[in-house]
């Protein structure tokens, strides 16, 4: 059985909810990632910040990224998957919520992230094609 742990990118970093968006963007650049999980004061997942969130939710609305925190853009219930979850469960979670990145949690701690690139490296072309069709069908540009 292939698990989330098998396909995740290990060693993912997360940021506290009080980090300003300009610093979060710099960290994304330095790490070469497009998303960072957001933690609350108890180091629990409270959201995910994407590069698109920074552009659309802050910059495009005329707000200053040095004055807006990651927590201010965290919306909804954050989705995650247990490290021991089967890859089919990973795909279902991503498909049902139409998300492209998924934090992997073990013992209430972040241990990795699963992105589209991770899926492409570990799944068959048929699995990737079916997943992409369900994720991108009718999704906003």
Q: Would you write out the chain's pLDDT as a tens digit for each of its 141 residues?
A: 889 999 998 888 889 999 999 999 999 999 888 889 999 888 888 899 999 999 999 999 999 999 999 999 887 788 999 999 999 899 999 988 888 889 999 998 889 999 888 888 888 888 888 888 888 775 544
Q: For residue 90, tell me if it sits in a domain.
A: yes
The structure's pTM equals 0.82
Q: What is the CATH number of the domain that holds 104?
A: 3.10.580.10
Tell me, what's the pLDDT at 141? Answer: 42
Distances (CA, A) of 50 to 68, 69, 74, 86, 138: 14, 13, 10, 25, 20
Q: For residue 91, tell me if it sits in a domain.
A: yes
Tell me, what's the pLDDT at 124? Answer: 83
Q: For residue 23, tell me if it sits in a domain.
A: yes
Domain count of the chain? 1
Helix %, strand %, coil % of the chain (to 5): 40, 25, 35
| Domain coverage including residue 68 | 4-136
Q: For residue 141, tell me if it sits in a domain.
A: no
Q: For residue 25, tell me if it sits in a domain.
A: yes
């Amino acid at each position: 059985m292939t698990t989330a742990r098998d396909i995740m990118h290990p060693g993912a970093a997360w940021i506290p909810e009080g980090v300003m968006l300009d610093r979060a963007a710099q960290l994304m650049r330095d790490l070469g990632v497009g998303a960072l999980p957001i933690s609350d004061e108890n180091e629990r997942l409270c959201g995910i910040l994407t590069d698109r969130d920074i552009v659309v939710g802050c910059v495009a609305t005329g707000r200053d990224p040095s004055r807006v925190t990651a927590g201010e853009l965290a919306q909804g219930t954050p989705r995650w998957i247990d490290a021991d979850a089967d890859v089919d469960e990973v795909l279902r979670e991503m498909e049902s919520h139409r998300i492209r990145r998924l934090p992997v949690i073990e013992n209430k701690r972040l241990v990795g992230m699963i992105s589209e690139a991770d899926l492409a490296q570990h799944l068959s072309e048929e699995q990737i094609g079916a997943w992409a069709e369900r994720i991108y069908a009718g999704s906003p540009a």
